[in-house]
Structure 1
Amino acid sequence: MARYTGPKARINRRLSTMVYESAGATRASQRRDSPPGMHPRGRRTSNYGTALTEKQKIKHYYGLGERQLRRYFAAATSAKGNTAQNLLLMCERRLDNVVRRAGFTKTRPQARQGIVHGHFRVNGVKVNKPGYILRAGDEIELRGRENLKNLYRGVIANNSPQPLDWLSFDSEGLKATILSAPTATDISLPVDGNIVVEFLSR
């Protein structure tokens, strides 16, 4: 999506999900967890509003624009299996998401910034597209510049990502490897993908 620069805690409160993980957004969301606006708890939400909220979760969490989400949806529809799972697993295999989940960065916006600035290589080739879709066997590593290595070592030292069966991370060698394709249990965003598929199919 176009880079969101507004108050991230407000989006977390509106969507009732921690889609933005920065320290400031987390603290602000904890102080006030109700949706923004007057009398938020008394509102009734239509089916359309619920589906739109679920779609917005995916867009904000993975940093997608509307056109990009529609492209992913078209690819997920043409692939075999459950369309909702296909869509979310494609998002999970994005380079920026993998960089975040491996532990190189604390948030996805940080991962996107590093990728756009050319900090990472995939299979030895510099990739500056956050939406690059990774496959089993791909290796992600930092460029060989010492200042970059020192920067990311500092981030990694203060970061403790959850270990993943489909992804290995070498914090000493600053390298991550995709061991296998993620499965439905590896999807990190709590969202009702079926509602989103119905919404996008209209």
Structure 2
Amino acid sequence: MKKIILGVAALLFCVQASQAQLLPSLKLGVKGALNFSSLKSDGKWLNSDTKTGYQLGVWGRVGAAGFHVQPELYYTQKKAGFKDQENNEEGEATLKSMDLPILLGTKIGLGPLGVRIQAGPVFSFAQDGKVDFNSATDFENYKKSSTGIIGGIGADIKSITIDLRYEHGLNNISQESNRSQKISMWSIGLGYSFL
């Protein structure tokens, strides 16, 4: 069984390598996604529930020899339920930002069908420098930018793209060091390529 799996993997790799071109390819498109995010904290002061948000934006892909770079720019609304254990407050937080992921990846496939593996950094720039809460709370000061890492898999079927990704925040989005919070998010997206 291992030999069969290795044989199929080697065959797919050879087909991909034979199709690779030295001249770069270019794709441009639009994308929409649903995201499922939560807040992670140091210590046990915050519990967070996963809530649904969305993303809308544009993407491009430049590739050659089986590898590609895919920058994206999209407006994101991330939501997370929370319960502050110290102050016994709970509610829902909404984070609005412009997100800029820069993904590196490779594609394996035949003809118009391909499977992608991608990963890279994501830079988020808050729309208003704050987080909106639907309940009374002392959370007021949030950083205007943050950095995370994102990775996932995707599929291309002619001009349609589908992505499943996980994003993990790398830095504290709160100005208060004793209120450390990071975003954790899954997203599933659907895009369309014009080129």
TM-score by length of 1: 0.23
TM-score by length of 2: 0.24
Q: Rg bigger for which structure?
A: 2
